[in-house]
């Protein structure tokens, strides 16, 4: 049997594939469209690995996906493929709906066609795991309880709206076509291979090249940070043990204001790679115009996955952030590679 991982050359997808093959011999087919956020080099260490194959293509190409499912006798799809950056969804929403909604629809259709050819036992054993976000629930006030799986969907950004739509599509395939789906709604991830447009890697990168560290608004927006390896472990557990149709919230139980996150990164860099002038990287912090529709606070109640599957985060934020800073310091080549012309265009357009 084989699993098909979509969006496998992105941040979480590549961490998932690397973790999977370090713990299991079950082959993986990686599918990725290699958008600006995808980097086949993330999987370079698997080049000679017989258990892994990489396919350059889109989840929107149902014929291609159908071929991959049949050739690999795939028993599960883990769908990471998406446009994932909120700020880009504000600048240009359309690709978010093309990929996250229409792409997911074509992927589901390819799976439906494939399953129709399988016997009942294989159909029952098949899983479609859709990786989603806590942003579908909207924003919390300072004293609101954390998001549970029964919170209403109230997306505020085009990104969140597109992910919410895809979650609804997946649900409809479960209810209408009997597809054995699983959905995870996870909080903000950080760790190796994250594209330096998201807060944590952007701040590490900008600090090291002497640029401003942009803080939107007052920097008091709260996110619930989770180390990417813990997210991958949760997905694996959900895939293996969750009842078909289940939805799980996944979070770090680690709420922090953005300004505090940025100051912690600066302190780590001050210790690990001091500035030549002896000043702190925190001197580079710059408050900039707030993001439109900026969600004030996210927090995940992960008690359901903890109770049902025994999952909880293993990596504390301090340790995970130190590991992440170390990884970026050790992978200057990777950063140079991904911060190419297209990246510079985005930074210039967005930050001016």
Residues with catalytic annotation?
134-135, 159
Among 189, 253, 255, 284, interactor with ligand NAD by CB under 6 A: 189
Note whether 219 and 291 are within 8 A (CB).
no
From the list ligand TYD, ligand NAD, none, which binds 247 (C-beta under 5 to 8 Å, kind-based)? none
Does 162 help bind ligand NAD (rule: CB under 6 A)? no
Does 86 help bind ligand TYD (rule: CB under 6 A)? yes
Does 232 help bind ligand TYD (rule: CB under 6 A)? no
Note whether 45 and 18 are within 8 A (CB).
yes
Q: Whose Cβ is closer to ligand NAD: residue 79's or residue 284's?
A: 79
Q: Whose Cβ is closer to ligand TYD: residue 42's or residue 189's?
A: 189
DSSP assignment of 189-243:
EESTT--TTSHHHHHHHHHHTT--EEEETTS--EEE-EEHHHHHHHHHHHHHHSP
User: What is the rounded distance in angstroms from the CA atom of residue 38 to the CA atom of residue 5?
Assistant: 13
Does 136 help bind ligand TYD (rule: CB under 6 A)? no
* Paired residues of 32 in beta bridges: 56
User: What is the rounded distance in angstroms from the CA atom of residue 243 to the CA atom of residue 103?
Assistant: 25
Does 305 help bind ligand NAD (rule: CB under 6 A)? no
Q: Whose Cβ is closer to ligand TYD: residue 127's or residue 223's?
A: 223
First to last CA, the chain: 49
* Paired residues of 54 in beta bridges: 30
Among 2, 30, 104, 133, interactor with ligand NAD by CB under 6 A: 133
* Paired residues of 189 in beta bridges: 226
Nearest distance, CB of residue 343 and ligand TYD, angstroms: 13
Nearest distance, CB of residue 351 and ligand TYD, angstroms: 7
**How far is residue 316 from each of residues 199, 226, 229, 312, measured CA to CA in Å?**
18, 9, 12, 11
Q: Which of residues 236-265 bind ligand TYD (CB under 6 A)?
A: 258
Among 2, 30, 89, 99, interactor with ligand NAD by CB under 6 A: 99
Helix (H, G, I), strand (E, B) or coil at 181: strand
Does 295 help bind ligand NAD (rule: CB under 6 A)? no
From the list ligand TYD, ligand NAD, none, which binds 166 (C-beta under 5 to 8 Å, kind-based)? none
Q: Which residue is nearest to ligand NAD (CB)?
A: 10
From the list ligand NAD, ligand TYD, none, which binds 158 (C-beta under 5 to 8 Å, kind-based)? none
Does 214 help bind ligand TYD (rule: CB under 6 A)? yes
User: What is the rounded distance in angstroms from the CA atom of residue 76 to the CA atom of residue 130?
Assistant: 11
Note whether 190 and 274 are within 8 A (CB).
no
Nearest distance, CB of residue 39 and ligand TYD, angstroms: 18
From the list ligand NAD, ligand TYD, none, which binds 131 (C-beta under 5 to 8 Å, kind-based)? ligand NAD
Q: Which of 78, 110, 52, 81 is nearest to 239 (CA)?
A: 78
From the list ligand NAD, ligand TYD, none, which binds 181 (C-beta under 5 to 8 Å, kind-based)? none
Helix (H, G, I), strand (E, B) or coil at 285: strand
Nearest distance, CB of residue 240 and ligand TYD, angstroms: 28
Q: Whose Cβ is closer to ligand NAD: residue 10's or residue 214's?
A: 10
Token pair of 245 as six digits: 């149709």
Query: Rounded to an integer, what is the distance from CA 316 to the centroid of its chain?
Result: 19
Which residues contribute to the site for ligand TYD (CB under 6 A)? 86, 188, 198-199, 202, 214-216, 221, 223, 258, 291
């Amino acid at each position: 049997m084989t699993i098909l991982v979509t969006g496998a050359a992105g941040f979480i997808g590549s961490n998932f594939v690397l973790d999977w093959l370090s713990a299991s011999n079950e082959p993986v087919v990686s599918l990725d469209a290699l958008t600006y956020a995808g980097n086949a080099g993330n999987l370079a260490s698997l080049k000679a690995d017989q258990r892994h194959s990489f396919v350059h293509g889109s989840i929107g190409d149902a014929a291609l996906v159908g071929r991959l499912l049949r050739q690999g006798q795939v028993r599960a799809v883990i769908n990471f493929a998406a446009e994932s950056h909120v700020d880009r969804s504000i600048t240009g929403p359309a690709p978010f709906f093309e990929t996250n909604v229409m792409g997911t629809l074509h992927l589901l259709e390819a799976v439906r066609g494939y399953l129709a050819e399988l016997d009942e036992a294989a159909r029952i054993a098949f899983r479609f795991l859709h990786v989603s976000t806590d942003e579908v629930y909207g924003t919390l006030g300072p004293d609101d309880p954390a998001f549970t799986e029964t919170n209403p969907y109230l997306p505020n950004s085009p990104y969140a709206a597109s992910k919410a739509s895809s979650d609804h599509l997946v649900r409809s395939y479960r209810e209408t076509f009997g597809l054995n789906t699983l959905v995870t709604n996870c909080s903000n991830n950080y760790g190796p291979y994250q594209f330096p447009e998201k807060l944590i890697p952007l701040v590490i990168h900008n600090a090291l090249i002497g640029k401003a560290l942009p803080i939107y608004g007052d920097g008091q927006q709260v996110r619930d940070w989770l180390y990417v390896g813990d997210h991958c472990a949760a997905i694996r557990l959900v895939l293996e043990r969750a009842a078909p149709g289940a939805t799980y919230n996944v979070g770090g139980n680690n709420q922090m204001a953005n300004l505090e996150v940025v100051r912690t990164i600066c302190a780590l860099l001050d210790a690990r790679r001091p500035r030549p002038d002896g000043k702190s990287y925190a001197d580079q912090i710059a408050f900039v115009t707030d993001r439109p529709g900026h969600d004030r606070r996210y927090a995940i109640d992960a008690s359901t996955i903890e109770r049902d599957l025994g999952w909880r985060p293993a990596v504390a934020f301090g340790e995970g952030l130190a590991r992440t800073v170390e990884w970026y310091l050790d992978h200057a080549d990777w950063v140079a590679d991904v911060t190419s012309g297209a990246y510079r265009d985005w930074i210039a357009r967005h930050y001016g």
